[in-house]
Amino acid sequence: MGGAKGLDVKDLRRRADKIRMHVIEMTSEAGSGHPGGSLSSADLFAVLYFHVLRHDPKDPEWEGRDKFVLSKGHVAPVLYAALAESGYFPVDELLTLRKIGSRLQGHPVKGKPPGVEMSTGSLGQGLSMSCGLALAAKLDKKDTRVYCLLGDGELQSGQNWEAMMLASHYDLNNLTIFIDRNHLQIMGSTEKTMSIDPLAYKLRAFGLRVISIDGHDIKKIIKACEKARSSSSPTAIILNTVKGKGVSFMENNADFHGRSCKPDEKEKALKELTERMSSW
């Protein structure tokens, strides 16, 4: 299930950079969007949609599918790019991002396009939804796994911690939480805005199994997902990433949290990503 599933590591790296190129193109065409956090999580999306998730683009409502919830809904471009590359809808549609009448809104809407499991964007709520999906699967005795991506700045919202208590209390070992730890949010450094450290200790205190890895290392992402699948408790995977990863002038630059590239920046970004993709 899930077109091209089982790609090797080199292919997954190329797929991640192709997703990054889509992000640059679609946000530049829209003249708005959130490219920085989309680029930092592209490697995760390549692994999920082309190696880990059980899903079927030809049958988005397939009963046996795993479910992915994008809690930090502002990075919808990376989700749309992964869905299009997987075959849920034509790649050409990506350029309609944020346009009137488009299915590709600035934040995901359930079922629009197909493959979007939850409407998200109000930060702090996606994990609660994911807990509900995971608990429902347990009650229905289904082997569905639920995956949820949070932003690190999003952890400043208290509802996340309530959801973690629920996940631990109900032994939701079919739930995997990813945290895109790129250290930047719209106001700048997460540490200066409101520190969430010591993050791993806090997550463990809420009953989660914690795995901290390089969020751009494909092999480590795959291995962490395998460990989560065999865990007896809900798992949180901290992805240590670089905001704007893959484009030199966007890396660690909070300005690109919510700003698209200008025409000259777009060309430079696409050139860098093309060279990067061919190097794998």
Q: Which of 69-78, 162-171, 182-191 has the lowest mean pLDDT?
A: 182-191
Q: Which of 52-56, 129-133, 184-188, 244-248 has the lowest mean pLDDT?
A: 184-188
The answer, yes or no, to whether residue 99 has pLDDT greater than 50, is: yes
Residues 73-96 have a mean pLDDT of 98
Q: Tokens standing for 97?
A: 């991002």
pLDDT grade for 108, boundaries at 50, 70 and 90: very high
**Of all residues in the chain, what percent carry a pLDDT higher than 90?**
96
Q: Are 263 and 204 in contact (CB under 8 A)?
A: no
The answer, yes or no, to whether residue 218 has pLDDT greater than 90, is: yes
Cα–Cα distance between 8 and 22 in angstroms, integer? 21
Tell me the residue type at 22.
Answer: H
- Contacts for 256 with CB less than 8 Å, ≥ 6 apart: 35, 36, 243, 244, 250
Q: Tokens standing for 16?
A: 């991640």
pLDDT of amino acid 6:
63
pLDDT of amino acid 3:
44
Q: Are strands 188-189 and 184-185 parallel, antiparallel or unpaired?
A: antiparallel
Q: Annotate 101-120 with DSSP letters as a single string.
A: T-S--SS-BTTBSTT--S--
How far is Cα of residue 186 from the mean position of the Cα atoms in its chain? 17
Closest CA to 260 of 90, 77, 120, 124: 77
Q: Which long-range contacts (CB under 8 A, 24 or more apart) does 198-204 make?
A: 199/152, 199/155, 199/238, 200/238, 203/164, 203/236, 203/238
Alpha helix (H) residue ranges in the chain: 9-30, 35-40, 42-47, 76-86, 126-139, 159-169, 190-194, 199-205, 218-229, 263-279
Reported pTM: 0.96
Q: Are 175 and 157 in contact (CB under 8 A)?
A: no
The answer, yes or no, to whether residue 40 has pLDDT greater than 80, is: yes
Q: What is the pLDDT of residues 129-180, one digit of tens each?
A: 999 999 999 999 999 999 999 999 999 999 999 999 999 999 999 999 999 9
Residues 98-114 have a mean pLDDT of 97
pLDDT of amino acid 262:
97
pLDDT of amino acid 280:
85
Q: Tokens standing for 8?
A: 């090797």
Residues 89-100 have a mean pLDDT of 98
Cα–Cα distance between 280 and 274 in angstroms, integer? 11
Closest CA to 203 of 226, 232, 178: 178
Cα–Cα distance between 177 and 127 in angstroms, integer? 8
Residues 123-132 have a mean pLDDT of 97
Residues 201-226 have a mean pLDDT of 98
Q: How far is CA 134 from CA 128, 152, 174, in A?
A: 10, 22, 6
User: What domains appear along the chain, each with residue ranges and CATH number?
Assistant: 9-279 (3.40.50.970)
Please report which helix (H) or strand (E) contains residue 188, including its range.
Answer: strand 188-189
